[in-house]
Amino acid sequence: MMAPPIILLKDGTENKQGKNQIISNINACCVVADAIRTTLGPRGLDKLIVNSKGETTISNDGATILKLLDIVYPAASVMVDIAKSQDCEVGDGTTSVVVLAAEMMKRAKPFVEDGVHPQLLIRAFSKACEAAISKLNELAVKIDGPEALREMLVKCAATTLSSKLVSQERDFFSEMVVDAVNILAEDLPLKMIGIKKVSGGSMMESCLVRGVAFQKAFSYAGFEMQPKHYKDPLVALLNIELELKAEKDNAEMRIKDVKDYQAVVDAEWNILYEKLQKIHDSGAKIVLSKLPIGDVATQWFADRDMFCAGRIPQDDLERLMAACGGTVLTTVSQIDASVLGKCETFYEKQVGSERYNFFEGCSKAQACTLLLRGGADQFIAETERSLHDAIMIVRRAKKNDSIVAGGGAIEMELSTYLRNKAKEITGKEQFFWMAYARSFEIIPQQLCYNAGLDAIDMLNKLRHRHAKDGKWAGINIHEEKVMDNYEACVWEPSLVKKNAIIAATEAVCLVLSIDQTVKNPRAPSGGTMPGLPQQM
């Protein structure tokens, strides 16, 4: 008599396993890469994504697009994760890493179909990755000297921006980005670069403020009477509410005399005036608070030629503290010049349709602000994303001052090197190394497709040049030919490539190692899971 089947998983559970599962995971990852493949390079196209609320985003940044795509396929979410990791670690190369990982999977797929054990592929790919990284470190060119370093940073920023929406003005923006990063302290904190977006005007009206600028904060009546320009003022940064408070509801006071009542009313006014007087006595000319500054305080300050603004965002207060010095105070009982910030100039100016407060010539000057102008809001938002990538690249290149040639040059050189190295390996592992080496060619190939060039012809020329020791030969999209990209100053920090290769290889090994997916059934809304006891 046959034994009854053992029911292990809940009714409705999806359970896929075996070789077909690995292949379907690879196919899903390749579909994700196809979604952003055309955004790669200077001639890459943009994607317009509309979310469930109807908000539109126009971008060609790989990480931004993948974040906005609501990917539900479990294994394909690995691609989103590597794009995010590349964005957090180096800021650029997010599309490259996804396209590279997908190509590696595509090259591994025939071996899986033929019954090769995934662990053999994983081992070969890991070894090939180590070889590629050691060759990359060997090829990377180190830059010495402050002038050469600045030139290198500008070139790296320009290479990053060449594939963005602002590519026409990349020279203007790359200088601006390098200046911004050079203002920062040694550890280059990203949040000390404020980016403010003001719609209207042309992109070329964007500017770098060597200090802090922010939109005029909410202000009460009496603001018009305050001066809007100071030389060498002291700045008080507060986290105090300078406002009369309404009494609590249902508060009860028993008073026998009218004088007592007057004393209660006066007490609150006196507390407020005492605070204001202490701030005035400290010598502060500009008073900024995270909390509201009421109309009484606003007019009191205006009478004494002082400027005040309340409800300043936390980020701006922190940048001000870094730039002007001083500390954010939660009490004014011991306020004096030692806890106040200093700057050379403060002024208020119209930028587009908004009023902005500017603090320039700050004593510490380790913070700066980029004011971005442009037509549509989506356009400025994409400019901000592009500049974020460029800032990240300049930060990384400044810390790790070694570069490689872009435009597919380094990928072709690594591909040639790994191919030659594969010939020294005996057995079937040679094929796996060859497949890994071939996958690097997807980057120059995709650059050609996106620019409308003949990819087969270009790749043949590249292979020929690299075989004859033209190690920096890459594609120059603007001149539509193969040339020495190191001489043409198409430079990228070696860290971008290193991180991309490691992240892509790890993602491929992870996908190859998954041979089963178990998906639990969803509980119907308002009901209970099948098989679970219902509560009485």
In tens, the pLDDT along 414-450 reads 999 999 999 998 888 999 999 999 999 999 999 999 9
Mean pLDDT score across all residues of the chain: 85
In tens, the pLDDT along 289-315 reads 888 888 888 888 888 888 888 888 888
The mean pLDDT value for 67-73 works out to: 87
In tens, the pLDDT along 156-178 reads 888 888 888 888 888 888 998 88
Q: Which two tokens stand for residue 354?
A: 């908004």
Q: Which two tokens stand for residue 500?
A: 């991309």
Tell me, what's the pLDDT at 82? 92
Q: Which two tokens stand for residue 446?
A: 């995709």
The mean pLDDT value for 35-52 works out to: 89
In tens, the pLDDT along 3-37 reads 666 666 666 566 667 788 889 899 999 999 999 99
Query: What is the C-alpha to C-alpha distance for residues 337 and 184, in angstroms, rounded to an integer?
Result: 25
If you ran DSSP here, which 8-state letter would residue 453 be given?
A: -
The mean pLDDT value for 65-86 works out to: 89
Q: Which two tokens stand for residue 272?
A: 């407020």
Three-state SS at 395 = helix
Tell me, what's the pLDDT at 414? 94
* 271 residue type, one letter: I
Res. 480: pLDDT tops 90? no
Q: Which two tokens stand for residue 110?
A: 């025939």
Alpha helices (runs of H) in 423-535, residue ranges in sequence order: 429-439, 442-451, 455-467, 494-512
Query: What is the C-alpha to C-alpha distance for residues 418 and 429, in angstroms, rounded to an integer?
Result: 13
Three-state SS at 492 = strand
Tell me, what's the pLDDT at 528? 46
Nearest to 132 by CA among 429, 433, 464: 433
Res. 525: pLDDT tops 60? no
Tell me, what's the pLDDT at 254? 77
Res. 345: pLDDT tops 80? yes
> Taking the CA of residue 400 as centre, how many other CA atoms within 13 Å lie in the half-sphere pointing to its CB?
17
Other C-beta atoms closer than 10 Å to the C-beta of 130 total 12
Tell me, what's the pLDDT at 2? 61
Res. 132: pLDDT tops 50? yes
Residue 534 — pLDDT band, cuts 50, 70, 90? very low
Task: State the SS3 of 170-206.
Answer: HHHHHHHHHHHHHHCCCCCCHHHEEEEEEEECCHHHC
Nearest to 451 by CA among 40, 54, 11: 40
Query: What is the C-alpha to C-alpha distance for residues 458 and 444, in angstroms, rounded to an integer?
Result: 8
- List, as one string, the DSSP characters of 22-67: HHHHHHHHHHHHHHHGGG-STTPPPEEEE-TT--EEEE--HHHHHH
Distances, alpha carbon 99 to alpha carbons 4, 96, 450, 490, 521, in Å = 48, 5, 13, 20, 32
Tell me, what's the pLDDT at 215? 86
In tens, the pLDDT along 262-280 reads 887 777 788 888 888 888 8
Alpha helices (runs of H) in 325-401, residue ranges in sequence order: 377-399
- List, as one string, the DSSP characters of 411-424: HHHHHHHHHHHHTT
Res. 324: pLDDT tops 50? yes
Tell me, what's the pLDDT at 440? 95
Query: What is the C-alpha to C-alpha distance for residues 95 and 106, in angstroms, rounded to an integer?
Result: 17
Three-state SS at 484 = strand
Query: What is the C-alpha to C-alpha distance for residues 249 and 227, in angstroms, rounded to an integer?
Result: 38
* 36 residue type, one letter: I
Tell me, what's the pLDDT at 416? 93
* 462 residue type, one letter: L
State the Rg of the chain over Cα: 30
Residue 327 — pLDDT band, cuts 50, 70, 90? confident
Tell me, what's the pLDDT at 535? 44
